[in-house]
Amino acid sequence: MTRALTWRAGTQAGRRWLAPAVWLLLLLAACLGMAQLEGLFRLVEPDSRAVVYARADFLVLLGRHLLVVGVAGLLAILVGVGAAVAVTRPGGRDFLPLVAQLASIGQTFPPVAVLALAVPVLGFGTLPIIVALVLYGLLPIVRNTLAGIEGIDPGVREAARGMGMTGGQLLRQVELPLAAPVILAGIRTSVTINIATAAIGATVGASNLGDPIISGIVNGNTAYVLQGAVLIGLLALTVDSLFARLQSRPVR
């Protein structure tokens, strides 16, 4: 009986990891085996000299892409969750509308425009795209953290204070755990969007999976564009399914 149960629990856990694993394998296979598909891309671009992007290794581009999105994501989480937590404290309430508004503006501002403005200040390379991604990714995180914390039953907060919890204990033991699923959903949206948005970094010299796309557009080589797009798509699906897996953990 117990064995049967653990066995079933085991396979269920296995099944939940299935989607991320499949997407990851496809992504790696695509990175490593793009050259093998030369015949296929030749059909798309019969006239071009080269049909498989070869200026850099796809794995290296993938690594750089992940790095940019990862750093921008971490910064956005730090700033976004931090700001949302600060304005839900008794002392910071006055700034709540301001912060909510600023985050919205961050997202309505096109990342391309941010890049254009950032390059003169920060120079070419990775830095401007990280700035653009942080700004662009803040809104879902701030919005969801606010919603998650504000959505907690006021009775729970009153009881926590009435029992003698300090502000810090209330935040760490009650508010953040209860808001976690909503916050995680915000991070998922933010990161997934930014995986696609990061591609524009290639226009300012941040080499990542956007390179083949930009290069394809510039040289009129649709095969390059396709290769970049497929890899970015697979990366987004991998990361998104990882988040889905995290979110499906039983949350009380």
Partner 1 sequence: MIDLIHVTKRFGEETAVEDISLSVARGEFCVLVGTSGCGKSTTLRMINRLIEHSEGEIHIEGQQIRAFRGETLRRRMGYAIQSTGLFPHWTVERNIGLVPRLLKWPAERVRERVEELMTLLGLAVDEFAGKYPRQLSGGQAQRVGVARALAADPDILLMDEPFGALDPITRETLQEELRALQARLQKTIVFVTHDMDEALRLADRLVVMHQGRIRQQGHPLALLREPADDFVASLLGGEDRGLKEAALLPVSERMLPLGPRLVARERVVQHATLREALSIMLWRHAERLTVVDDEDIPIGELSLRRLVGARSHD
Contacting residues toward partner 1, per CB under 8 A: 153-166, 169, 174, 177-178, 251-252
CA atoms within 13 A on the CB side of 187: 25
Number of residues assigned to the chain: 252
* CB of residue 122 to partner 1, shortest distance in Å: 42
157 vs 245, beta carbon nearer partner 1: 157
* Strands, E assignment, the chain: none
CB of 144 to partner 1, least distance (A): 18
DSSP-derived secondary structure for 178-232:
HHHHHHHHHHHHHHHHHHHHGGGGGGGT--STHHHHHHHHHHT-HHHHHHHHHHH
The residue (of 101 and 166) whose beta carbon lies closer to partner 1 is 166
Q: Beta-carbon neighbour count of residue 7 at 10 Å?
A: 10
Q: Which is nearer to partner 1, 183 or 237 (CB)?
A: 183
At its nearest, how many Å lie between partner 1 and the CB of residue 150? 16
User: Do 26 and 234 meet the contact criterion of CB atoms below 8 Å apart?
Assistant: yes
CB of 154 to partner 1, least distance (A): 8
